[in-house]
Amino acid sequence: MTLLAVERIKLFSTRSPWWCMGLALTLMVGFAALVSGSADSAGDVSVPVTQFGYSFALAVILVLATLSVTTEYRFNTIRTTFQAVPSRTSALLAKTTVVALVSGVLGTIAAFGSLGVAMLLQPDASLALNSEADWRQVAGTGLVTFFAAVVAVAVGVLIRHTAGAVSVLLAYSLVAEGLVQLIPRVGDDIHQWLPFNVANRFLTGNPDVAVVFEGPGASTSTLSPWAALAYFAGFSIVMLLIALVTAKRRDA
């Protein structure tokens, strides 16, 4: 518990996490307000539409989680951490836990905030969470951002440099996975197993439904929604294990 408290203090004692949290909330809720407010009628606003800003908020959350690690490497405070806590695994697990929990809570608040602002702007719209799919679309955002933060921390530990780690994460999650589909013959088969595409399967459900101008894009994964979440969680754990082993074997 002491390690968790220390990591919580370190996370919130700098400005960048606060800026990132504010930006993530502003983007997701702001886009929900923009899309809902500009809709021609209440019938054009649905639960997925309120989550239009998800991808933008996720990108900021990935940056937040990466900075929690790379900032320590940049200013060499990670050396002090490892000297105070001889077990690097314990120190990094505490950091990952705190960052992931904050990211999960942030994702949940942003998702429900987006739904709430849409209800205010379009009170006649059908925005009740009447199905499991609706609940996954909104409440499930917190689960995805939780495990996405674990991936981001792992990448931060592996690369250690802010610019490099952020570039890799954003380029991969926003661009690279989609470009894989352009590979002849095998592109689509590879794409359906890529982690962020699979995570979208958990949020959006039916991959046969074309999502246009809505939240997370329809996934090409063939897994069931909850199996997709388990897959994404497993990927994040594998990435973290690789990062922990790497951190133990090299100098701080």
Give the pLDDT of the chain (252 residues) as one tens digit per residue. Answer: 688 888 888 889 889 999 999 999 999 999 999 999 888 788 888 899 999 999 999 999 999 999 999 999 888 888 888 888 878 889 999 999 999 999 999 999 999 999 999 999 998 888 989 889 899 999 999 999 999 999 999 999 999 999 999 999 999 999 999 899 899 989 999 999 999 999 999 998 754 444 444 556 678 888 999 999 999 999 999 999 999 999 888 765
pLDDT of residue 206: 54
Alpha helices in the chain (DSSP H): 2-12, 15-37, 47-50, 54-74, 77-84, 88-121, 132-138, 140-159, 162-171, 177-180, 187-191, 195-204, 225-249
Q: Which pair of tokens denotes residue 102?
A: 């904050």
Reference 68, options 7, 125, 127, 19; nearest CA is 7
Residue 210 phi/psi, 5-degree rounding, is: -75, 120
Angstrom distance (rounded) from CA 237 to CA 45: 36
Domain of 204, in residue numbers = 2-249
Q: Which pair of tokens denotes residue 15?
A: 């400005």
DSSP for 31-80, please give it: HHHHHHHT-SSGGG--HHHHTTTHHHHHHHHHHHHHHHHHHHHHTTHHHH
Reference 126, options 63, 241, 43, 209; nearest CA is 43
Number of domains in the chain: 1
Residue 139 phi/psi, 5-degree rounding, is: -65, -30
Angstrom distance (rounded) from CA 49 to CA 158: 36
For Cα atoms 43, 47, 52, give the angle at the middle one, nearest 5 degrees. Answer: 105
For Cα atoms 207, 208, 209, give the angle at the middle one, nearest 5 degrees. Answer: 90
Contact 41, 80 (CB under 8 A): no
Fill in the DSSP letter of residue 222. Answer: -
